[in-house]
Each structure stands twice: as structure tokens, then as C-alpha cells.
Structure 1
Amino acid sequence: MYDHDLGWETGPDTDDAHSCVADLRTALSAHGITLPSIGVDPPAFAASPSLALVALGNCNIATARKLAAVLRTAWRGETPS
């Protein structure tokens, strides 16, 4: 959703934010979880100083439950069911 070119200046904050989004998308995908609207939050860069934020967006209940299950098992050191 937010991955299109908005004409932002590139720099450490924007590059790091986009890298973080890619890493998170890959990690979620490894557990069968897709958050379609994950991306860099554009308004965060309008702040002074700019603050890179990752927008996780909305997801349906099934995806939220899957994410919660993965987080619970990771916290306990278990294998997700």
C-alpha cells in the first residue's frame, strides 16, 4: 500500500524503514502471515525531526489470531500448531 514512490528524499531513516518493512514482511510470510497494507507511514516523515514509523495496517480476525499464535509460541519457545 505504501511502497510506491512518493518522491521522498532517501536517507538513513527512509532506507532503514523500508528495509525494516521488507524484513518484517519476510518474517511474517515464513509463518504464513500476510499483512497486505504493511508499509512505511508517510506522515511520520513530515515531523521535525522525522520519525520513521512502520504502518502495520488492518488485518482480518483470522490473520490477527494467526499472528497472536505465532507470537505466543515464540515467547514460550514452542513450535506453532
Structure 2
Amino acid sequence: MPPTTPKIQEAVDARNALAAALSRAGVQLPAMDVRTPWADDSEGEARYALVHLGVCSAPVAHMLADVILRGAGA
């Protein structure tokens, strides 16, 4: 596992929060991950990290859209 930096930890925490919220809504994305770009500075530390949501089937995408719409009050 790559060294944890504040930006990586922020992305891991966000991924975990999103996964927990989706799970409570009955939606499970098959592959959620945290990815970092190449190192941006001389110490090899990335300036940011991204939550990668992966791919999902059409039924899961519809479930996710429904959850978002319910949360948005639509």
C-alpha cells in the first residue's frame, strides 16, 4: 500500500463514507478504489487523490440514479 498522505487519507475517508451511504440505500458498487496521479513534487507526494467508482451494471446504475433523485427530492 502506498504511503498515506493527508490527501490520500481524505480520499479514503470519502470513499468509505460514500460506500457506507450507498450500502444504507441498498446500492453496492463493485469496485470503489482510491487512485493517485504521479508524484507532483520532489518528495514523491501526490497533491491530490481521486475516488474511483469503477464500473457497474445497468441495474446498479439505475439504483444509484434512483437514490440520488430521492435524496434530491425529485
> Deviation string for 1:33-73 (max 9, x for gaps)?
1112111024x2x1525221110000000000000001111
Question: Higher relative contact order at CA 8 Å, sep ≥6: structure 1 or structure 2?
Answer: 2
Name the CA distance, whole Å, in 1 between partners of 2:39 and 2:27: 31
Q: What letter corresponds to residue 63 of structure 2 in structure 1?
A: K
What is the TM-score normalised by the length of structure 2? 0.82
**Tell me, which stretches of 5 or more residues in structure 1 are unaligned?**
none
Structural RMSD (CA): 1.5
- 1:17 counterpart (11, 20, 25): 11
Could you list the structure 1 runs, at least 4 aligned residues long, displaced by more than 2 angstroms after superposition: none
| 8 Å CA contact retained: 2:11, 2:34 | yes
**Tell me, which stretches of 5 or more residues in structure 2 are unaligned?**
41-45
Name the CA distance, whole Å, in 2 between partners of 1:26 and 1:73: 17
Name the CA distance, whole Å, in 1 between partners of 2:39 and 2:58: 32
Indicate the residue corresponding to 2:52 in structure 1: 55
> Deviation string for 1:7-41 (max 9, x for gaps)?
x1212111111111111110000011111211102
Instruction: Give me the identity figure in percent.
Output: 32
Report how many residues are paired.
69
What is the TM-score normalised by the length of structure 1? 0.76
> Is 2:50 the counterpart of 1:29?
no
